[in-house]
Amino acid sequence: MSPRPPGTLTGVGVGPGDPGLLTVAGRAAIAAAAAVFAPRAADRTGSMAAAVADRPVVEIPSPMRAGAGAAAGERYAQAILPTLRAGGDAVFLTEGDPTLYSTWGHLAAAVRRRCPAVPLVTVPGVSAVTAAAAAAGLTLATGDETVAVVPGSYVDADQVRLLLAQFTTVVILKAARALPWLRPLLAAEGRLEEAVYVRRAGTPAEEVAWGLRDLQAPDDYFACVIVRAGGRLR
């Protein structure tokens, strides 16, 4: 008798927070799984991804320090592997899309190392980047235009100045830490009116602020700033 084959692990992007932006395939995978898991950040009251799932979700505490992606992947793998080894299908929820600033890749790598027989499936989702653009009524790129996506924790003013000259659209994620120098930089470059601050797109807490004016929550970790040459299409 051969041992029971392991279950499938599916990474599902639940989108930016609006349950309506979950995909049909994502919803089906969540409903069919033996168990659904999601990361829970220590500094947050609950998982947005779990709230979208509409069924019980096992929340795994996640290390939120910078560079902790590989460690988080190991921790999630340890929590999920018993279900998979027992033959149960598991779903791992990520906010936005699993391929863009998610720990899904680290988790998949950790599972592949520990139990190579586990089938791995990725169900893409609506990313926070395009959801923010949609909330602002903004086109990121059309035709031959170009887009750069960078985390605000990574870049400095000189790098952003270079990107602004090089790309049609620059998306700065995790923008909170960059705001103190980003606003004067954009003003000095004459680009402030082409910039929009967006946080929590697609949720009741959504905020869209053109010109980065009158921000309600300038310290929101998940806020982004989008700067598009020429602003909106007219």
Q: Which is nearer to a copy of itself, 1 or 233 (CB)?
A: 233
Q: State which amino acid sits at residue 113.
A: R
Q: Which is nearer to a copy of itself, 208 or 217 (CB)?
A: 208
Q: Hey, how many other C-beta atoms are within 10 angstroms of the C-beta on 189?
A: 15
CB of 183 to a copy of itself, least distance (A): 21
Check residue 84 for interaction with a copy of itself (CB under 8 A). Answer: no
Site for a copy of itself in 150-179 (CB under 8 A): 150-151, 153-155, 167
The only residue of 123, 160, 185, 225 in contact with a copy of itself, by rule CB under 8 A: 123
Check residue 133 for interaction with a copy of itself (CB under 8 A). Answer: yes
* The one segment of 1-9, 36-44, 120-128, 215-223 that binds a copy of itself by CB under 8 A: 120-128
Q: Which is nearer to a copy of itself, 69 or 211 (CB)?
A: 69
Q: Using alpha carbons only, what angle is made at residue 14 by residues 10 and 17, rounded to the nearest 5 degrees?
A: 160
Residue 149 is encoded by which pair of tokens?
A: 């996506």
Check residue 39 for interaction with a copy of itself (CB under 8 A). Answer: no
Q: Which residues fall within 8 angstroms of residue 96, CB to CB, at 6 or more apart?
A: 13, 14, 15, 16, 102, 125, 126, 127, 128, 129, 131
The only residue of 58, 63, 69, 187 in contact with a copy of itself, by rule CB under 8 A: 69
Check residue 13 for interaction with a copy of itself (CB under 8 A). Answer: yes
Residue 32 is encoded by which pair of tokens?
A: 């069919």
CB of 88 to a copy of itself, least distance (A): 22
Nearest-10 crossing angle of helices 179-188, 157-166: 50
Question: Are 178 and 151 within 8 A, CB to CB?
Answer: no
Check residue 8 for interaction with a copy of itself (CB under 8 A). Answer: no
Closest CA to 92 of 55, 59, 43: 59
Closest CA to 117 of 36, 1, 9, 37: 9
CA dist 67 and 178 (Å) reads: 18
CB of 116 to a copy of itself, least distance (A): 12
Give one word for 226, left, alpha or beta, with left for phi > 0 and alpha for psi -120 to 50.
Answer: beta
Interface mask toward a copy of itself for 98-117; x: CB under 8 A: xxxxxxxxx-xx---x----
Interface ranges with a copy of itself (CB under 8 A): 13, 15-16, 18-25, 27-28, 66-67, 69, 97-106, 108-109, 113, 120, 122-127, 130-131, 133-135, 137-151, 153-155, 167, 202, 232-234
